[in-house]
Amino acid sequence: MTVATDPVSAIEGGLVVSCQAPEGHPLRDPDVMALLARCAEQGGAAGLRVNGPADVRAVRAVTDLPVIGLTKVTRPGIRPLITPGFALCEELVRAGADVVALEVTDEVAPVAGDLMGLVKRVRADLGVPVMADVSTLEEGLRAWSWGADVVSTTLSGYTPYTASGMEPDLELVGELASRGVRTVAEGRLRTGGHVTGAFERGAWAVVVGAAITDPVAITRRLAAAAPGRTRR
């Protein structure tokens, strides 16, 4: 299936649902990701965020919603990097991604090389918008100045130099948006209050993943609130 309108405009004011499951997760199957994508579409999602060409291809086949593709490159013991190179971007577009998400962080720079060149090349040579996944205000402003079409707070709390926590970094959303950056709020959003809070701070769109598409995480959160055997 194909997307008619500009994908960045299509997600404005909307909810993007991240349909991802890492290796070893019970839902790790491109066909399952496609089912989750259909659920998201029926529920009113404006777009989808999908990891890896196989999942992008499976999701593309069942929906006309804009698909934001990324490829996580795993590293032992530490967080994966997000789409650190042009060849990965090319594969995603070939699989049907309408937007490529790639990280623009100080942490990825030694691996991905010339990040400004990467952002520009993806837009120019592949003809798709870039979503820059960042963790700080400086990274976001840099990515925006290089021509990223949208900047997402995805990695706040995940780089070694940002503080992790349970709550989404809506402060960063506000800081970026107030400087005129087209900003997506992403990372740890799990309530209606988080979504409205992000839009109140000027978000262009929001991305929600685990709170919708990861039953293991949802179960873990609710199980932690149950008293368990101590109660009996």
- Residue number closest to ligand LRY, CB atom: 209
Burial of 192 per CB tally in 10 Å (0-12, 13-18, 19+): exposed
β-sheet bridge partners, residue 50: 19, 69
Identity of the residue numbered 125: D
| 70 touching ligand LRY, by CB under 6 A | yes
Give the footprint of ligand LRY on residues 5-34 (CB under 6 A).
18, 20
Query: How far is residue 128's CA from residue 197's CA, in Å, rounded to a whole number?
Result: 29
**187 makes contact with ligand LRY (CB under 6 A):** yes
Figure out which of the listed residues 63, 105, 154, 159 binds ligand LRY, where binding follows CB under 6 A. 154
Q: Which of 69, 129, 142, 158 binds ligand LRY (CB under 6 A)?
A: 158
How many binding residues for ligand LRY (CB under 6 A)?
16
Element (H, E) at 186: strand 183-186
Instruction: For strands 72-75 and 78-82, give the pairing.
Output: antiparallel
Q: Distance (Å, rounded) from C-alpha 140 to C-alpha 142?
A: 5
The reply on whether position 188 binds ligand LRY by CB under 6 A is yes
- In the list 8, 10, 118, 208, the residue contacting ligand LRY (rule: CB under 6 A) is 208
Closer residue to ligand LRY, CB minimum distance, 49 or 57: 49
Q: Which is nearer to ligand LRY, 180 or 193 (CB)?
A: 193
Angle formed by the axes of helices 170-178 and 137-145, nearest 10°: 40
User: Site residues (CB under 6 A) for ligand LRY?
Assistant: 18, 20, 49, 70, 154-155, 158, 186-189, 207-211
